[in-house]
Amino acid sequence: MTLQIAFDNSYAQLPPRFYTRISPVPVKAPQLIRFNDDLAQALGLPRGSDEELAQIFSGNRPPEGAALLAQVYAGHQFGGFSPQLGDGRANLLGEVIAADGTRRDIQLKGSGPTPYSRMGDGRAWLGPVLREYVVSEAMHALGIPTSRALAAVATGEPVYRETGRLPGAILARVAASHIRVGTFQFFAARGDVAGLRALFDHTVQRHYPDVESPAELLDAVIERQARLVAQWMAVGFIHGVMNTDNTTLSGETIDYGPCAFMDSYHPDTVFSSIDAHGRYAFSNQPNVIVWNMAQLATALVPLMPDQEAAVEEFTRLVHGMPPRIQAHWLDLYGKKIGLAQAGPEDEALITDLLRRMAENRADFTNTFRALPEGRARDQFLDPAAFDAWEETWRPRLEAEDAPQARMRAANPAVIPRNHRVEQMIEAAVAGDMAPFERLLDVLARPYEDQPEAQDLTRPPEPSEVVQQTFCGT
């Protein structure tokens, strides 16, 4: 008997040109790898047996009431516009109302080809599924808005990539929605104002119930994305593929492909194997999100009765985004060095530390975590470089109340380091899921000191350094 899930599907009520109704392609021998019981409980989902869950979240046995559709969208990919993209290997099961009253999508990723697959096989292999599971759950624990992993299922079938034959898997992920900047671009590119209006109304109802106009929607999305990217910057996260089709209207992190966290700090750090020119480098993420919001603004213009005036107003909003990002950045980095409320005069202090860290190959996470214990200088090739900065920092800190506690609350002790994620994937492919389970357990408490997990806080040895990360498509 199939488990009952109380779906409440709203996206499926939009006009048919918003999606293609299609079922997941069944797999040979689904086996549950992991089920997120805490998330399931928050969503009000029944537990069921491992076998039942494997059948549901592989797509073999979709629950009654599932929406079963692939969404269509467009997008700028590395600056080039593709007028039609869409869910090429994903299938929306449906929407549920969580215990807190919020609406959540449940989507299968790697569930087989769709009309938007563009000659792809529609599948995922085990590595990227486990990477997204670990990193998205780590982001949630860090307090950063994100899609989350509900389940991972092995398919019992191989997939084939450049490296050869690999074990197949499917990820069930949960998101506030999968509405993207590229979704608006899809209808704008076709001059489909009625479609744009329907999408606007749906987005407002779902995410911004107090918004009344496209200008207000743009302003609200800009604010959420400004905060989100500043949060990425504060933990050394590099999304790797900030295309407009990977930028959500909800303000959540989504589509973990070639993502990575920095070890030693450098502003120009790039990991993504497909980012040949550094478009999505760590330090360029604030610039890219502003560019993406400009594309959203362009897509919203047709909804305005006076389009000339709209262009002027939208331009003002987009041009006002960098100061918003900087304000969030300053607040977050201020707390990272112990300041309750950093002011403009503190920016030079923060940027001077970052400059010295880059010059001395200091580990990003460990340097900030060591600040309250007075051990940060040990992260520098030349400890004197930190000492010189500290002479300015210490007097500034004297005016603060409980700065050590503030720093410990703002600076994680552990992140999903690239070499540990890769080692976890290698072990999983060999049949050992213990490193995967351990990472999930430790990363669920990133701000706690966990003596038994000190090895997971260690930067990579030269032989362990991960130079590139891959999408896995």
Largest CA distance in the chain: 68
CA 70 centroid distance within chain: 20
Beta bridge partners of 69: 21, 92
* 87, 105, 219, 245: the active-site residue: 245
CA 51 centroid distance within chain: 29
Active site residue 245: yes
Close Cβ partners of 351 (under 8 Å, ≥ 6 residues apart): none
- At 421, which helix (H) or strand (E)? helix 418-429
- Asked if 324 and 318 touch (Cβ cutoff 8 Å), the reply is no
Beta bridge partners of 146: 253
For the CA atoms of 358, 364, 368, 369, the dihedral, rounded to the nearest 10 degrees, stands at: -150
Looking at residue 373, the DSSP 8-state letter turns out to be G
Choose among 247, 241, 240: nearest CA to 218.
247
Cβ atoms within 10 Å of 10's Cβ, excluding its own = 15
Distance CA 165, CA 160 (A): 5
Q: Which residues of 161-179 are buried (b: 16+ CB within 10 A; e: fewer)?
A: eeeeebbbbbbbbbbbbbb
Choose among 346, 34, 317: nearest CA to 169.
34
Cβ atoms within 10 Å of 19's Cβ, excluding its own = 23
Q: How many residues does the chain have?
A: 473
CA 19 centroid distance within chain: 23
Active site residues: 245
